[in-house]
Amino acid sequence: MSRFYPDAPRVGVSVLCHDEGRVLLIKRAKDPFKGYWSLPGGLVELGEPLLEAAKRELREETGVEADLFEPVETFDSIQFDENGKVLTHFILTVFCGALRSGEAVAADDASETDWVRPEDLDDRPTTPGTPERIRRHLPL
């Protein structure tokens, strides 16, 4: 099924990986939101549990591993085209965890990675809701 003009929502995961008060962001290399900063993540594969998908996507896009357990949030990401037709519809589940190992390097669907402090989130273009989501779930 296509990501654009789908006939049903696509299921995906995002990972809020944190280390010393910073969160790992990726710059999206593909549409939707190409060039915007976002949490690492992607689509769940058929037969893949959400937690395993989150671990895989984090590893594939950044090369790091985090201690992930239960999801912290699930939300809809829906975009409409200029005619009001659904362009994209993703149901995303967010996992949050501390960095366990690895050096962040952009790969797969990411063109860059960066460790960002919450106070610096508003200085860059992000996918909708990303700064607020990070501030809600980043441990103090």
- CATH topology classification for 10-137: Nucleoside Triphosphate Pyrophosphohydrolase (3.90.79)
pTM for the full predicted model: 0.94
Q: How far is CA 80 from CA 4, 30, 87, 88, 90, in A?
A: 10, 18, 5, 7, 12
Q: Is 112 a catalytic residue?
A: yes
Angstrom distances, CA of residue 57 to CA of 18, 24, 64, 65: 15, 13, 10, 10
Report domain extents, the chain.
Answer: 10-137
Q: Which of 45, 57, 112, 132 is catalytic?
A: 112
Splitting the chain (140 residues) into consecutive groups of 10 residues, what average pLDDT does each group show?
92 98 96 95 97 98 97 97 97 98 94 96 95 93
